[in-house]
Structure 1
């Protein structure tokens, strides 16, 4: 049932957001050299690696680590990178990952391939059994600001509480967070 809802929502969102997606792609292309999309190796269900697209907000050649681990993250941003991140527009290409079945709308955010501590803690809690999401319970309870053990605790709570109603609540709260730009790293 969840997969069916994901497909319906992703198809609908893609149709509704097609013009903004094209405009953001054009803006990325016009404001920096390199590809429009950045394909990130991420950890999916059962710790399988998949390639997740995002609109490129960082300059080409930026190290493939979590943004908070960079010495000076702002130095790596493209001219419109900060705006893309604050507005969460850089996440729009992940609709492709939802359509492909690598992601869901709601689930734990997919870890970077090299976040061994996060992957190990999630595996120990059984969270690796879930399809990762565009948003999740940890995202609306702190987003980028949470320490890894707290993220995993919230991901495990989502694993226990997951339901269509809980997913709808998380989607609604995510919408509110994005509009308010709460907890977004720049």
Structure 2
């Protein structure tokens, strides 16, 4: 009797995961657009696991996690609404997997908001450091702000494990070699996150992403999931970078290190603005 009940529950879970994935995937596709201003790069051949198994793992795990963590979702949403206001969910356009043209597909990534909308006398948003509250910093330090990304995984714009989706204004400063990280679906966590997160330099972070796409496997993904849980929830390692509320943008780090000229910096930032719709 117990086996029968468990079997029915498992089938119901798989069925619910499949239906939710299809519905969300169709909605997500209507919002995705291509970074036409980027030069195309060559795609990469994917192995059997990445082509056929990884998506199944993503759907089952993300749906199960959403169901299991629903009380936490409700609690965090209530606290965000009470302390930071609406909207509870913060969305931001991020570069994802390359499309058939060899250019990045831009999708909307979801997070719980961690900042206020405080503005100066001219109506401009205050710097991140002033808008990031103690509560928001706590959400980041516990990685609870990233829980809504499970819906990105369920809809197919992200994966459990893969290179973290960076900002469009970071992508435009990447070399074609570094952009190869976008031949894999962006992930909730990845090799860079278990090897220093925002505490490491951009060059090292991107290098870890390139190492990941060279050895994508079920075993490697499970190892990264274990290390992520250990670091983010047991050791409670934060994601802030020194005294900054958020890590430096890639372009800002490059110009700080005199790796690009001011003219190049301005030109790339203009390209990023044109990409964003």
TM-score (normalizing by structure 1): 0.88
Match of 1:127 in 2: 181
Residue 224 (structure 2) aligned to one of 167, 170, 173: 170
Match of 1:104 in 2: 159
Match of 2:106 in 1: 49
Q: CA RMSD in A?
A: 1.8
- Once superposed, which parts of structure 1, at least 4 consecutive aligned residues long, lie more than 3 Å away? 71-74, 118-121
Unaligned runs of 5+ in 1: 63-70
Residue 140 (structure 1) aligned to one of 183, 194, 208: 194
Q: Provide the rounded CA distance (Å) in 1 between the counterparts of 2:154 and 2:85.
A: 28
Unaligned runs of 5+ in 2: 1-52, 99-103, 120-125, 246-277
Alignment of 1:20 with 2:66, yes or no, is no
Question: Given that residues 121 and 149 in structure 1 are in contact (C-alpha distance below 8 angstroms), is that contact kept between their aligned partners in structure 2?
Answer: no
TM-score (normalizing by structure 2): 0.60
CA displacement at 1:182 relative to structure 2: 2.2
Match of 1:153 in 2: 207
Residue 75 (structure 1) aligned to one of 123, 130, 134: 130
Question: Given that residues 34 and 60 in structure 1 are in contact (C-alpha distance below 8 angstroms), is that contact kept between their aligned partners in structure 2?
Answer: no
CA displacement at 1:61 relative to structure 2: 6.2
Deviation string 1:130-168 (CA, Å, 9 cap, x unpaired) is 000000001110101121111111111101111000000
